[in-house]
Amino acid sequence: MLAPTVGGLRSGQVSGQVKSLKVKPGDRVTKGQPIADIDDVPQRNDLRNAEAALNVVKADLQAKQALLKQAELRFKRQRQMLNEEASSRENFESAEATLATTRAELLSLNARLVQAQIEVDKKKVDLSYTRVVAPMDGIVIAAVTQQGQTVNSSQSAPTIIKLARLDVMTIKAQISEADITRIYIGQNAAQLSPHELARIRREYIGFIFQRYHLMPDLSALGNVEIPAIYANSERDQRRLRAAALLGRLGLEGREHHKPGELSGGQQQAGHRRGSVRCTANLALRGQ
């Protein structure tokens, strides 16, 4: 089965009303194309608040830088006056403490500035989420959310639309465990080599002829095992399978009898079971 690459376009980061839906099912879209707009008034207000808080920190930082310059000048002046014995040590120590405190407060304001800038960047990202764009090229296969509908990110990640890429298809197939090792990337699935066709005939197709064609020197168990030998089945596995098949035909206890020691009906049953031993898919019967 061929299946397209399907992606659900989600807007799980923000909540709000879908103001506009710019596409409809069947439309072809390209990566980055606007798909829908969600009401952005709350996000814009949050961004303005964050920017205002950032400006407050910047103003405080400028004021503190001016105070630092003043404290540095006062400290230098007190140190010079102390050396000239024109001021007391108490005044010098007070100026020194004021300088240290101002420097520490300046470091704190720089940290607050970083936090405020991060908050502004976060609010800008939240605002960008209100403009939903296509994550890939594709075709709109479903509009899950309609215009005017409110999406709630706190409950689940709402899906706006579903996109499908038809240029990249996924092949879904059921392959048996016995055959999976024979499958490889780039293999031509449309053509089979004579060797592969022979393997299919050997492992999946049984032939029932008009005559029994049983090997007279082999037991009933051995005759039923023959197709499994050609199919390269494990010895213990094929023996257990052959014995089980003969038991279902009522030949339990006669597995080691040769064809000449069996009745005509028993020979026919053994022949049929041996013919279809390796397949449950197809049996070809001669007329």
| 156 and 248 together in one domain | no
End of a domain among 170, 195, 222? 170
pLDDT of residue 192: 65
Residue 282, pLDDT score: 45
The overall average pLDDT reported for the chain is 78
Domain boundary among 128, 159, 183: 128
DSSP bridge pairs for 33: none
Residue 104 is predicted with a pLDDT of: 96
Q: Let me know whether 224 and 239 are in one domain.
A: yes
Residues 12-31: tens digit of each pLDDT = 577 888 888 888 888 888 88
37 or 270, higher pLDDT: 37
Higher pLDDT, 41 or 136: 41
Residues 24 and 74 placed together within one structural domain of the fold:
no
Query: For residue 18, what are the domain limits?
Result: 2-38+130-170
Q: Are residues 192 and 281 in the same domain?
A: yes
96, 128, 160: which is the final residue of a domain?
128
Looking at the structure, do residues 185 and 246 belong to the same domain, yes or no?
Answer: yes
pTM above 0.85, yes or no: no
Task: Please check whether residues 186 and 229 belong to one and the same domain.
Answer: yes
For the ranges 51-55, 141-145, 200-204, the maximum mean pLDDT occurs at 51-55
CATH of the domain at 217: 3.40.50.300
Question: Each residue of 258-283: pLDDT tens digit?
Answer: 777 776 665 555 444 444 444 434 44
Model confidence over 65-117: pLDDT tens digits?
Answer: 999 999 999 999 999 999 988 889 999 999 999 999 999 999 999 999 999 99
Overall domain count for the chain: 3
Query: Are 99 and 178 in the same domain?
Result: no
Give yes or no for residue 161 having a pLDDT over 50.
Answer: yes
- Tell me what the mean pLDDT of segment 238-254 comes to: 75
Confidence of residue 200 (pLDDT cuts 50, 70, 90): low
pLDDT at 54: 97
Please tell me whether residues 153 and 18 are part of one structural domain.
yes
Q: What pairs with residue 119 in β-bridges?
A: none
- Check residue 241 and give its pLDDT: 78
Higher pLDDT among residues 210 and 280, named by residue: 210
- Crossing angle (nearest 10°) for helices 89-128 and 41-83: 160
If asked whether residues 123 and 134 sit together in one domain, one would say: no
The answer to whether residues 16 and 108 belong to one domain is: no
Same domain, 82 and 109: yes
- For residue 7, what pLDDT band results from cuts at 50, 70 and 90? low
Degrees (nearest 5) of the Cα angle 278, 280, 286? 80
User: Are residues 62 and 109 located together in one domain of the fold?
Assistant: yes
